[in-house]
Every structure is written in structure tokens, then in C-alpha cells.
Amino acid sequence: MSDFEQRAYIKMRTALNFSAVDIHTDLVNVHQDSAYAYRTVAKWVSLFKAGRESIEDDPRSGRPVTATSPTEIELIKRLIEEDRFITYDQMEEQSSLSHGTINRIIHDHLGLRKLASRWVPHQLSAKNRQDRLNFCKEMLGRIESGQVRLDQIVTGDECWIYFRKIAKRASSRAWTAPGQAPPTIVKLGLYEKKCMFVVFFRTTGPVLLHCLEKGKTIDHRYYIDKCLSPMVARPKEQRPKSGTRGIKLLHDNARPHVVSATREFIRSGGIELLGHPAYFPDFAPCDYYLFDFIKQRLGDVDNQEELLHSVTAILTEMPRQEYFHTFEKYVERLKHCISLEGDYFEHLIT
């Protein structure tokens, strides 16, 4: 980010009565090493509050800025290509160039900016990417041709939900005065009270909500008896004539989901099992939408009964269009995966 852009931002935020601390924090969060130092931000805030309009440097005598040579530009480019995590201090040490010169090269000549790295669940191999790509093309083709309708799909998964609300890091930021310590949030403990829930839903709303029985674990037998069996029974109750005809199940590759006994039960129930290739966490509707929706709306509870009541209320009161929109997002993700030839695409999701 150039000096001109940073000063323009400082001027705008100052006009909106933001403090120098807030403005500096914003710049650092976005631009990290290339952001102005706090003293520089504070200086410009004071100037703008005093009535200054120009964001340009005042004319001054002395030695002009030395033109940047192609050799220096190539040197910094090579250092960054060798280590994309390199810092300004390391570049200064290895190139003998000043901080200002390096900053001009990076932003004015190379057009680079430093962003936080993306975390991914697995380093995809060429085969992993090809499997993802092939699946997405096939599934998108089936949906677009009408072979698979979104209202036919039932999806489900398991999730641990805690008795107390754990806010996201972004939502836990609090306004703090200079020298004042931010508020504290107790992180999750090893024995924090929690309960595992199994949720199945479709475009029209929830199909099944099951709370794991105390002292039990979800193996394939428990999954079949306590989760799949009630889930299969629901459409038979709702539409006795057609039963499970046309129903398609989408769940991930957790071990209880993929053993032969589970697959055989699903087939015997007249349900088609949709594929879910390995390393596909970004394609589980529960994970990319529903569970986060539930957790953000839960408050603190004292016991499992209260937690079950709260989760049930959230699922029941959730508008029907939200359930449908979740499956529209599934189609969008198929398209994103195809556009990136099977690679992860979370950074493209808005």
C-alpha cells in the first residue's frame, strides 16, 4: 500500500472520528509489515484534526529519493520468490537496501501485498485434485440435467456442541483504549462440557436431530440403529406411497459412514448414496453452513436437556429458504472446484 493510499485512509477515518489506535490497528491487520508505524499514523491524525487537507509530503530541500535500479528490483523479486514469508528486516539485511526503497520496489514496481496464508486440511496430490474435479463435473452434470434434484437430497453429519458459547476470534474483538488490556475469554478446556449431535436435513427443513447417548460412541452399529434407521423412517411416514423412492443421501467419509454394513443398510432402504471423495471437507453442507449457524445462535446452558431444547428450537425456527440456500451453496462449490481444477476454493467463498 502506497504512502498516498495510507494517508488517504487515515484522513477519511479521522474525519469519522476514529482514533489513531484504531486506524493503526486496521492498517496492520490488512497490510502487516508495510503498514505505517503508530507514531506516523498519530502524526497524520493530528495534522488532519488541525485542518490539514493535503496528503502529500511538504516540499523540502535536500537530497532527492534515489531512483530504483532494475538490479535492485530484480534482487528483491528474487528474495521474495525464494521465501514468500520473508520479512522487511530480512530483506534489508540480505540486500543492504533501506526499508523505504524495499517498500517502493514491493508496492510500486512488483505490485505485491502481504496477506495471511490460507490454512488447508490436507496437501492435495495430483490424484486428489483429479478425483475432486471428476466428482464435481459428474455431480454438477447430474444436477443440471435433472437426474438429481436438490429437494431429493438428505444430508447429515455429527458435531460436538459445547454447553457455553465460544465466540469466533473475529467477533471477540473489543474496543480498547491505549494502555488498557483487552477483555479475556476462557479457552476451551480438555474436559469442557459438550454433547455430540447428529443432524440430518433437506431443502424443506430438518429430518432428524439426535443427541448422542451418555457413555456411547458413534460406531457403524450405533449410526445405523440410532441415526440412519429413524432418518429412513421419516420419509416413509411423511409419504407412505413413495417412501424413500428418489431420496439421495449425502454424508462424508467418516468411518461409521463408509463401512460395508452402513452402505448395505442404505441400499436396502432404497436410498441412493451420493459420492463424497476423500479430502472433501469443503463439500459437507453441515460443516460449511449449518453447524456454524447453530453455534453462533446458542447461548450458555446448564445441562444436556437445555442444550437439546435450544438446538431443536434453532433448527425449527430456521427459515425454510435458509435450508434451500444451503444446497444452492453446494452447487456453487461444485462450480468453484471445477474452475480451480480440483483445488481448494474456500478463499473464493464470500
Q: Over 90: is that where the pLDDT of 55 sits?
A: no
Block residue for cell numbers 433448527: 315
Of 62 and 13, which is predicted with more confidence? 13
pLDDT band, residue 197 (cuts 50/70/90):
very high
21 and 139 in a single domain? The answer is: no
- Verify that 94 and 23 share a domain, yes or no: yes
Residues 102 and 166 in one domain: no
Pair 213, 82 in one domain: no
Residue 149 within a domain: yes
Q: Provide the residue range defining the domain that includes 144.
A: 126-170+189-348
For the ranges 35-39, 177-181, 262-266, the maximum mean pLDDT occurs at 262-266
Do 155 and 101 fall within a single domain? no
- In this predicted structure, what is the pLDDT of residue 129? 87
* 125-167 pLDDT per residue, tens: 888 889 889 999 999 999 999 999 999 999 999 999 988 877 6
Q: Let me know whether 251 and 320 are in one domain.
A: yes
Proportion of the chain above pLDDT 70, given as a percent? 88
Q: Say if residue 149 is in the same domain as residue 257.
A: yes
The more confidently predicted of residues 194 and 29 is 194
pLDDT of residue 316: 92
Q: Look at residue 63 and tell me if it is in a domain.
A: no
CB atoms within 10 A of CB 195: 18
Residue 308 lies in a domain: yes
Q: Which of 156, 158, 301, 261 is nearest to 217 (CA)?
A: 158
- Specify whether 133 is located in the same domain as 275: yes
Total domains, the chain: 2
Residue 179 lies in a domain: no
**Res. 273: pLDDT tops 80:** yes
Q: Is residue 176 a part of any domain in this protein?
A: no
Sequence-distant (6+) residues with CB within 8 A of 274 are: 139, 148, 153, 248, 249, 250
Residue 178 forms part of a structural domain:
no
* Residue 83 sits in the same domain as residue 153: no
Name the pLDDT band for 198 (thresholds 50, 70, 90): very high
Q: Are residues 99 and 144 in the same domain?
A: no
Residue recorded with cell 459412514: 257
- The reply to whether 138 and 79 lie within a common domain is no
Give the bridge partners for 154, in sequence order: 249
Confidence of residue 168 (pLDDT cuts 50, 70, 90): low
